[in-house]
């Protein structure tokens, strides 16, 4: 495995490393839905829960118990938190994302802009998410502790930063 290229969400899920996989057909990161359905993974879709504002999706789980737990615990008003935690993202990153989305939805655009300016993207063991730059080390430690798989560690951790002032993007290998 090449360092600096983390495991994809699909590969990490199929290896059993990642607890859930979100599939948005025809989306930017779409994978082979038919293969997953053929393997009989339990899932929820837009027909069961309005998770993505009416958009078509499949949220696959490693086992039926996890799928049932998600459906039972799902709350419309806290769907960002529920989805982030189900996908195996660090709780601190999920909390930060929920606060950022809440600021945006409530019209607190100054707070939203400030949070967005501090946003970094992280990728490790199939988990691709955003968080506050100040929480990077805590989230990285959480990921390494939660997903201690040799293959994931060899693949490395991905960090992406955005410079909103100039519109530039950069990537950094977290090895």
Residue 3's pLDDT is 52
- Give the separation between CA 43 and CA 51, rounded to whole angstroms: 13
List of residues 6+ apart from 118 with CB closer than 8 A: 132, 133, 134
Residue 149's pLDDT is 97
Residue 31's pLDDT is 61
* Domain ranges for the chain: 88-175
Buried b (16+ CB within 10 A) or exposed e, 104-119: eeeeeeeebeebeebb
pTM for this model (two decimals): 0.85
Closest CA to 12 of 164, 118, 117, 158: 158
Mean pLDDT in consecutive groups of 10 residues from the start of the chain, 175 residues = 71 94 75 62 91 89 94 84 96 98 96 96 96 97 98 94 52 47
Residue 37's pLDDT is 62
**Chain CA centroid to CA 146, Å:** 14
Buried b (16+ CB within 10 A) or exposed e, 58-93: bbbbbeeeebeebeeebeeeebbbbbbbbbbbbeeb
């Amino acid at each position: 495995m090449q360092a600096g290229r983390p495991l994809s969400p699909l590969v990490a899920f199929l290896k059993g490393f990642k607890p859930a996989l979100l599939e948005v057909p025809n989306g930017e990161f779409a994978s082979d839905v038919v293969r997953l359905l053929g393997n009989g993974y339990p899932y929820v879709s837009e027909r069961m829960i309005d998770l993505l504002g009416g958009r078509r999706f499949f949220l696959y789980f490693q086992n039926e118990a996890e799928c049932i737990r998600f459906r039972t615990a799902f709350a419309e008003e806290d769907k960002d938190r529920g989805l982030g935690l189900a996908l195996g993202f660090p709780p601190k990153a999920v909390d930060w994302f929920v606060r950022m989305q809440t600021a945006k939805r409530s019209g607190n655009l100054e707070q939203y802009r400030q949070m967005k300016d501090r946003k970094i993207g992280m990728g490790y063991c199939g988990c691709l998410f955003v968080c506050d730059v100040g929480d990077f080390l805590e989230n990285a430690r959480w990921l390494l502790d939660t997903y201690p798989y040799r293959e994931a560690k060899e693949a490395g951790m991905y960090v992406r930063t955005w410079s909103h002032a100039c519109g530039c993007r950069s990537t950094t290998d977290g090895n």
